Amino acid sequence: MAAKKICVFPGDGIGPEVMREALAVLRTVEKISGGGGSRRRRSCWRRSYDAHGTPMTPGALALAMASDALLLGR
């Protein structure tokens, strides 16, 4: 199985806590299956707006478009 690129947007509110657990499950699945991948985190929604003045930066969008999968928290 080829390594997959996963873009992670933890989100705001409860999102970061839920995303930590989702990533723990993903790591377990990767161990069991012998697969693996790379994960890149970017901020979105309120955190991105506070830091950059936009809910999603062009760089974050480009990373999402170049990924094989997205994990999106709210």
Per DSSP, 12 falls in state S
Average confidence score pLDDT of the chain: 86
pLDDT of 50 strictly over 80: yes
Least confident of 10-19, 48-57, 58-67: 10-19
Structural domain spans, the chain: 4-72
Lookup result for tokens 């709210």 = 74
DSSP-based helix, strand, coil % in the chain, nearest 5: 50, 20, 30
What are the pLDDT digits (tens) for 8-29? 988 888 888 988 998 899 889 8
